[in-house]
Structure 1
């Protein structure tokens, strides 16, 4: 059976028909179904975070490893009282400043309200409050916390548009909300608040510098725990965001490239800023990632859509432009390196 689609755009939230759609979505989630919902980062595959059967449906639909914890989504800070320990004043300050928005906080878990599958048997839980008006309205209407990893097949590029969800999961999930696309396009920053100083478990749109400016103290970075037995955050253990073809990042950027060659028996795809189009070898498939090399936020918003277009193409090998390392590009390059499996063309090959 095909996945049900509800159309709810931001400008339709006050419509009477939208109330009926929200009721249908709440009923589906209450009875343990899973639904693709929009957020400002990527589309999430939502299920009742308290219901082990619903959580198993999420893992099964995505083909997601069971030791990869899920982020719990809420609409109000008061909901945290039901399943997390009392919050440190510094955490409250960060939440007041950045929520709703693209950041998740890892907090000490309290009690047994949440399914153990949601937190992958950990004694902590990652929680966030989305700012996407439709996603937030769904959470508020439903009333209970929703676990919602990205609504894609595990390991594939994350979805930033509802059609991406349909491409991956049609017939595998109960429904999806067709709504306005994600504005950020990269998954949330994840901040581990169970240790001190706080540590970034996954970079995102909210940077280390922004966190430190609010806290007035240092925030540490996690090393990638690729071999960790129990990753505390999504994105720490497994290869992610990858198209089916081999993918390599060109460190130093496409403008410096003299290495890529197109041959009769090897079709090449290149993802790079629009102003690098003139450096693309003749015969290669080019997908523009952003307008220029310093349009980092635009590149992050378009990254997964570009990877998905390449995935559907007939190219044999994909190269992607490497951006200079900085606080502004940290999240973007983290996703690019994850997608390539750290396959890099370094400067000594150029």
Structure 2
């Protein structure tokens, strides 16, 4: 299949005026899968009501069948079709953080969504993205769209359309070309099937952010469980082709030929710039590091001379949990 590319960057204010917009919407309704930008990463989107469409996601990504998908919606009332909002605390968090980079795991209504969306669970993760292009596509199609990251399973998630094309050219129906994403890592996932809630996957919205809206709503997280209830809980993810190792003290690192380093810009001056990639300006720039992480890992994959990668440890920095979660997955704990 020849993958179509729709460059909508000049039509963000009103996507309905884009000449090929109906081709995109018809694609969704014909059970095709299409990569779309969101504020977190680019997603591989398909009609969540169609088994045929959702099955194409798993084939294109090479994704394990027990790894559930997140359903993306345009507005809250769409949830009533396939899930339940269990209490007022959930609704308060939705009102506070949607549209935005957070997903809520909700009790599932049976026999509505394609079964592969939920990997056989009796719950489903739901998200309302804030990206302008994603929101308009969700409004124009008015379908719940299952949309995991638009990359080969296990590889770094795509933060621009070119990353998507590296993995998905001739595997999917099309790619909607938007801008570089805003956040750079996947959404926070909150399990709301029992109270207090727990964070199943950390993201840009932290437990502290949630607690400010509903005090006492979050219990201790457990990101490593046998049966994943959210993407990114069980399998090795986000990894570049070359082996990567976490470095506790980057100031003591000595690079050999064929090695590269990923660290804050402030730590890179003593290294050869041809084998470095900056994550933020300083260690305290967690927002910048999250925004640039996957681009750094993808950049390393374009350098065949690199045989090993070292990445700085940010665990001593406040609110680095989401960033370190992705780094630990990418390094397999090394």
For the aligned pair, the TM-score class normalised by the smaller chain equals over 0.9
CA distance in structure 2 between the partners assigned to 1:41 and 1:190 by the alignment: 12
Q: Secondary structure at the match of 1:79?
A: helix
In 2 relative to 1, CA 292–202 (structure 1 residues): closer, same or farther, beyond 3 Å?
same
How big is each residue's C-alpha offset from its partner over 1:101-149, in whole Å with a ceiling of 9 and x where there is no partner? 0000000001311000011010000000000000110001110100000
- RMSD between aligned alpha carbons? 1.5
The offset of 1:86, in angstroms, is 4.1
Aligned: 1:233 with 2:233: no
Give the distance between the partners of 2:164 and 2:144, measured in 1 at CA: 21
Quote how far apart the aligned CAs of 1:163 are: 0.6
Structure 1 residue 197 displacement after superposition? 0.8
Out of 83-92 and 107-116, give the one that drifted further: 83-92
1:283, CA displacement in angstroms?
Answer: 8.6
Query: C-alpha separation between the residues in 2 aligned to 1:136 and 1:12?
Result: 10
3-state secondary structure, aligned to 2:58: helix
| Counterpart for residue 3 of structure 1 | 3
SS in structure 2 opposite 1:118?
Answer: helix
Q: 2:68–2:231: 8 Å Cα contact kept in structure 1?
A: yes
Q: Unpaired runs of 5+ in structure 1?
A: 344-350
CA contact (8 A) 1:201 1:221 kept: no
Partner of 1:40: 39
Correspondence list, 1:118-267, <5 A? 118-226=117-225, 228=226, 230-252=227-249, 254-255=250-251, 257-258=252-253, 260-263=254-257, 267=258
1: CA distance between counterparts of 2:15 and 2:171? Answer: 29
Q: Give the SS at the match of 1:117.
A: helix
Aligned length: 333
Q: CA, structure 1 residues 110+72, in 2 after alignment: closer, same or farther (shift >3 Å)?
A: same
Q: Which residue of 2 aligns with 1:14?
A: 14
**Contact 2:201–2:230 (8 Å) recurs in 1:** yes
Q: Is the 8 A contact 2:15 2:136 kept in 1?
A: no
Write the distance in 1 (CA, Å) between the matches of 2:84 and 2:240.
39
Compare 140-149 and 325-334 and name the one that shifted more. Answer: 325-334
Distance 1:291 1:88, change over 3 A: same
User: What residue is the counterpart of 1:346 in the other structure?
Assistant: none
Tell me, yes or no, if the aligned pair for 1:192 and 1:200 is still in contact at 8 Å.
yes
TM-score (norm 1): 0.92
Deviations 1:240-287 (A, max 9, x none): 0000110001123x12x24x3414xxx00111111111242x597111
SS across alignment from 2:115: coil
CA change 1:66–1:41 in 2 (3 A) is same
Q: Provide the residue aligned with 1:347 in structure 2.
A: none
Q: Would the aligned equivalents of 1:6 and 1:176 in 2 still touch at CA under 8 Å?
A: yes
> Residue 316 of structure 1 aligns with which residue?
307
Given that residues 262 and 284 in structure 1 are in contact (C-alpha distance below 8 angstroms), is that contact kept between their aligned partners in structure 2?
no
TM-score by length of 2: 0.96
How far residue 10 of structure 1 moved from its aligned partner, in angstroms, is 6.5
Distance 2:323 2:20 in 1: 35
- TM superposition shift of 1:327: 4.5
